[in-house]
Structure 1
Amino acid sequence: MGVGPRYDGGAGGAGGDGLDLGGGQGDGAGDDAEALLRARLRLADEQIETPPGLWDRIRDPGTEQVPAVVPLSQRRPRMVMLVVAAAVAAVALGVWWLVRPGPVTLQPAGPPPTVKITVHNSERACRTGRSLECALRLANDPHAKYAERGNSAGRVWHGDALAARCVVTDGRMVRDEAGITSTRWYLVTSGQGVRGWLPGVRTRNTREVPECPAGVK
């Protein structure tokens, strides 16, 4: 690339390019050399041509996308977290396997608790023996007439131990031979498995018996 016309510096110059920077010609020669150097540099800069399309390529780098590169410093902590999470899950699974509950066996619900009560006959003559005349009736319905023909579930006698499940307090009023009345009726089961309602006047129960839920028969 040319840098302008060559300057020999006059007759008896210092060399091929005519530039003597050794300072041997005095102060005027040094200033001329510096001015000449600046002129040549400026001329060379003006003659440099920009390649065609360079600025367009700089402004529009194109649509090609450069794949994102995740620095190693970011990938490593993420991998460490994954490994730690997997280890924790494995430990938790092992602990659960060791302490896991055994198979649950559902036990059938047993019969409701009962209270033992004893049959009492107010007639002294019927407190011994088990004659039909001394039998006391268990009713099917505590709200029906006690003496009705169809309201009989079975017979009990004085001194029989019965299992009382519950009691109703609003049953039919019954009066015994001694004139004692009561509207309490006990849902009982005899030793022979007979189930029915015993009037409250036919026992001298002193133990608490829970009230029957609605609809119990």
Structure 2
Amino acid sequence: MGPDAESDDRVAALLRDRLRAADEEIKTPPGLWENIRAADAPPRRTVIGPRLRLGWAVAAAAVLVCTVALGSWWLVRPAADAPPARPARFDVPVTVFNAEGPCRPLRTLECALRLAKDPYAEYAAPGNAAGRVWHGDRLSAACVVTSGTMVEDESGITSTRWYLVRTPAGVEGWLPGVRTRNTTELRTCSASEARPT
């Protein structure tokens, strides 16, 4: 073995000794194993602060208000494709009928029958009067509403039918079905006609 080989062996042995000494001096930092175990555990839930919760509540309320406003607008918006309202044609004759026999020949206020402004309101309500008619009057009808307020006449007959009529004097109103004995077929009123004016 030559001098170079001996020198290399000595250097290697010296390095081994130094590495062993350095390895013995290295100590595990305190808390290292606890930190490693904690990193393997599932993360804890973070608590949402009160300010963030308030922000979410305000955002949710704003979305709710916008939704309600948009829905309301959609329900009451004017229909762009709705056909224009056509004037009602009063071309079907109907005759007024009073169930009270003693009133039939009289044209007094006590024997007058009411034409209503609104077929869906209470018939006898103070603000629901469009005009007066009497037994035997001939009126012109335009259409009929079949689901108006139920009215009962003096003989006990009831009906939810209401006729949109015009008197010879030009007064328009709604005649309850119990106030006529109509036998002529009439068309159903459109939504625009059925609304009180």
Task: Give me the TM-score of the superposition, normalised by structure 2.
Answer: 0.53
Match of 1:178 among 155, 165, 178: 155
Please tell me whether residue 213 in structure 1 is matched to residue 184 in structure 2: no
Query: Rg: which structure is higher?
Result: 1
How far apart, CA to CA, are the structure 1 residues paired with 2:87 and 2:190? 18
Q: Secondary structure at the residue paired with 1:196?
A: strand
What is the CA distance between 1:112 and its match in structure 2? Answer: 2.3
Cα distance change, pair 153–110 in 1 and its aligned pair in 2 (3 A)? closer
Task: Indicate the structure whose relative CO is greater, using CA pairs within 8 Å and at least 6 residues apart.
Answer: 2
Query: 1:1-217, aligned counterparts within 5 Å?
Result: 112=89, 114-216=91-193, 217=195
Q: Secondary structure at the residue paired with 2:121?
A: coil
Flag structure 2 segments of 5+ consecutive residues without an equivalent: 1-85
Task: Give me the TM-score of the superposition, normalised by structure 1.
Answer: 0.49
What is the CA distance between 1:157 and its match in structure 2? Answer: 0.2
Task: State the AA in 2 paired with 1:163.
Answer: S
Q: 1:100-131 CA deviation, whole Å, 9 max, x = no partner?
A: xxxxxxxxx98625200000000000110200
How far apart, CA to CA, are the structure 2 residues paired with 1:147 and 1:111? 25
Detail structure 1 runs of 4+ shifted over 3 Å in the superposition.
none
Flag structure 1 segments of 5+ consecutive residues without an equivalent: 1-108
Q: Report sequence identity in percent.
A: 62
Query: Does the CA contact (< 8 Å) of 2:96 and 2:181 recur in 1?
Result: yes
Q: 1:154-205 CA deviation, whole Å, 9 max, x = no partner?
A: 0000000000000000000000000000000000000111100000000000
Query: Does the CA contact (< 8 Å) of 2:120 and 2:148 recur in 1?
Result: yes
Structure holding more helix per residue: 2
Q: Give the aligned partner of residue 25 of structure 1.
A: none
Task: State the AA in 1 paired with 2:176.
Answer: P
Task: State the AA in 2 paired with 1:138.
Answer: L
Task: State the AA in 2 paired with 1:130.
Answer: R
Cα distance change, pair 111–149 in 1 and its aligned pair in 2 (3 A)? closer
Query: Does the CA contact (< 8 Å) of 2:90 and 2:165 recur in 1?
Result: no
Task: State the AA in 2 paired with 1:184.
Answer: R
Task: State the AA in 2 paired with 1:204.
Answer: R
Task: State the AA in 2 paired with 1:117.
Answer: V
Q: Secondary structure at the residue paired with 1:198?
A: strand
Q: Give the aligned partner of residue 94 of structure 1.
A: none
| Paired residue total | 109
How far apart, CA to CA, are the structure 1 residues paired with 2:170 and 2:88? 14
Q: 1:68-97 CA deviation, whole Å, 9 max, x = no partner?
A: xxxxxxxxxxxxxxxxxxxxxxxxxxxxxx
Cα distance change, pair 154–113 in 1 and its aligned pair in 2 (3 A)? closer
